[in-house]
Chains A and B, each alone.
Chain A
Amino acid sequence: ETGVTQSPTHLIKTRGQQVTLRCSSQSGHNTVSWYQQALGQGPQFIFQYYREEENGRGNFPPRFSGLQFPNYSSELNVNALELDDSALYLCASSFAGGLTEAFFGQGTRLTVV
């Protein structure tokens, strides 16, 4: 167990809907990163939050957005869902200033139909 928790674990949404995924970081960690992992692929970086601000973004459209809260937990929001958004969404917790080992939560499996 990494101490990083994500909710929900599974979700089914309809194309065009909006979804919010949540992540609680490991104790002592102040940085949260989100990754999307399509079937058979490695995780792809979506964005990272540090001190409640976005700090770096991957090649994802603006309909992917996020938040970080004062307790370092985070949300990932996806608007106007598309079928290709179906994937495992992973939250990674790390500590800026350390060796930045990133520990992953159990993931949220999103299916868009």
Chain B
Amino acid sequence: QKEVEQNSGPLSVPEGAIASLNCTYSDRGSQSFFWYRQYSGKSPELIMFIYSNGDKEDGRFTAQLNKASQYVSLLIRDSQPSDSATYLCAALRGSTLGRLYFGRGTQLTVWP
């Protein structure tokens, strides 16, 4: 079982819709969770992180964490074509010097 699992997609939504990206993790010792956006051929770009149960909102993005279910999600409201990218979920395990475990990413396409 991989540390972090993501549905690789592709996920396709129309412009203006809500895109929902999901991630599960296997290690209950994971402490913080990160969502990165990666455009083709580029490096991952941090969108947001979450470490407490519940929701965290930042602009059009909302991260949700449920530690009991070992589930993390990212909602993108009012999706734009520029949001089309691969979204990587990562879990931080260990101390503050811990490593990130990444899922393989979900490819999102937002069509006009």
Contacts and interface: CB of A to CB of B under 8 A. Distances in A.
Interface of A: 2, 31, 33, 35, 40-45, 48, 50, 55-56, 58, 88, 90, 92, 96-107
A38 to B, nearest CB: 10
B102 A58 contact: no
B111 interface: no
Interface residues of B, number: 26
B96 A100 contact: yes
A43 B32 contact: no
Nearest to A88: B43
B2 to A, nearest CB: 9
Contact of B97 (A2, A41, A56): A56
Contacts of A45: 99-101
A43 B88 contact: yes
Given A104-B43, A104-B45, A31 B102 contact: no
A3 B92 CA distance: 22
B98 interface: yes
Given A31-B97, A42-B105, A44-B102, A100 B43 contact: no
Given A104-B43, A106-B43, A99 B99 contact: no
B97 A55 contact: yes
B32 A99 contact: yes
Contacts of A48: 97, 99
A46 to B, nearest CB: 10
